[in-house]
Amino acid sequence: MSRPFPGGLEHSTHWQNVLQQLKAVIPSAITALVMTFTSWQFAVFVCVVFAFYYLPFVRRLQVYVLIAASLFFYGYGQPELLPLLVVAVVGTWAFLALSIKRSRAWTKYGIVFNLGLLAFFKYKFLFVATPVATGSAVSDFLLNLPLPIGISFFVFHNISLLVDLPKQGRAATVWEIFLYVIFFPQLISGPITQARNFFPQIQEKQISKVPFVEAARWLVLGYFFKLYCANNLNEMTSYMAHPLFETVKTGDKWLLIFLYSFQIYADFFGYSSIAVGLALLFGYRLPDNFNRPYISRSIAEFWRRWHISLSSWLRNYLYIPLGGSRHGPARTYFNLIAVMGLGGLWHGAGLSYLVWGLMHGVLLAVERPFLDKLDSVRSPALQALRAAMVFLIVSMLWIFFKLPDFGQAASYFAGLFTESTVQNPPKIYRTLALAYSLPVILQHLILPHQPQGAWARAIEPFAYGALVALAYAEAGPESAFIYFQF
């Protein structure tokens, strides 16, 4: 099915050429660097590892099988960065051992070590330009290494490890740490699993205890939301990029920010669901990462429902250590804004990410004194209005997430309130937008009212079969998972 261009671009040969050039010269480098969850290579990889993992003579070696599989998965596109992964894990293990056997001060040194790795690879280009030539072969090699995929996630895992295990007085082998940090379903984009929840699960697994039905549900949902919803919406929201958004009518700019809200949810929910399903196949349970965030009635509730594993990590390892809400309102508001600002920078070294995080922090602080009073009002109309306002605000702030260049993001934001004379898109464009957004909308609105009983269980396989058919027959063009870049 051909997709028409929004904003009348189907009538503009010039902009069609611009779009094709952008797609040609900016290929999905991230997709090329990893064995993506949606590739046939990954399907073969999982089948081979699964078949070998549950062989009787392998049972005592299952941890090592998963470590080897995870190293292969990570090194498939970036073998030169495998030593970094090994250094990060072994270094964290060494600091953990010193913290448990000698002094808790080593925990702080271990955290600094991990944050140093993150800062060097993710934020060095705030201070140096690329390509870099220093005259030293070693420094040139290090400075020109690409950003390791998933570094933000495995650094957060390392910090959780350093904080949790010393409190429990629990030692860990280097192999257990390797598995916790690099377990391939969660290695690239989470969910961020806290050490206290993962380590008790490291034990021999039996295929008879695998919840195949539950795993299949998660996998079908994940692939459906990624292939059918996110990939198709990605084709439309490509017009949010500069300079294409300058050719889009004001009303369609608004439409695109809502489509991006649905896309980023479908994309990340899809990844998280696939990760949960894969982990279940190997006997591990990862945390749920989403709980219908777009029905939230406050920004605070949104962050309890969106990227739950990140919100929990920021609360437990940053907000509470900073003092949380224990030192009066002013300190509480500062902590909220500071934590969310750092959370924004965690996503990327750019002013747009910082602004996105700070704005969420400011909104958390502004709404905090009024939440109890608002929550006490039982009016359904008021609650619906609150949810609509939160969705509108969150969607508008996604602009700074979608466009890491702050100037471009500010220009798009301003364009929402400036009338444009560009021709309206044809109606079929809006029809397609609704078709690919509808699953997200329905999931948020009907989940609490799912039918129960024998008849519902009887039709469930057919419903999931329909999702598989749609994902296969109407999958959008291949695109990298959005959170791969973090």
Residues acting as catalytic residues: 347
> What is the distance between the alpha carbons of residues 195 and 158, in angstroms, rounded to a whole number?
9
> What is the distance between the alpha carbons of residues 231 and 120, in angstroms, rounded to a whole number?
32
- Please report, for residues 73, 165, 216, the alpha-carbon distance to residue 465 in angstroms, rounded to integers and kept in the order given: 29, 43, 11
Q: Is 323 left (phi over 0), alpha (psi -120 to 50) or beta?
A: left
| φ, ψ (nearest 5 deg) of residue 174 | -65, -30
Closest listed residue to residue 486, CA positions, set 313, 335, 231, 310: 310
On whether the CB atoms of residues 314 and 357 are closer than 8 A, the answer is: no
- Helix 174-182 crosses helix 151-168 at what angle (to 10 degrees)? 140
Residue with tokens 């779009």: 19
Bond prior to 293 in cis (omega within 30° of 0) = no
How many other C-beta atoms lie within 10 A of the C-beta of residue 279? Answer: 22
User: What single-letter amino acid sits at 176?
Assistant: E
User: What single-letter amino acid sits at 456?
Assistant: A
**Radius of gyration of the chain measured on its C-alpha atoms:** 23
User: What single-letter amino acid sits at 468?
Assistant: V
How many other C-beta atoms lie within 10 A of the C-beta of residue 434? Answer: 11
CA 212-218-219 angle, to 5 degrees, is 85
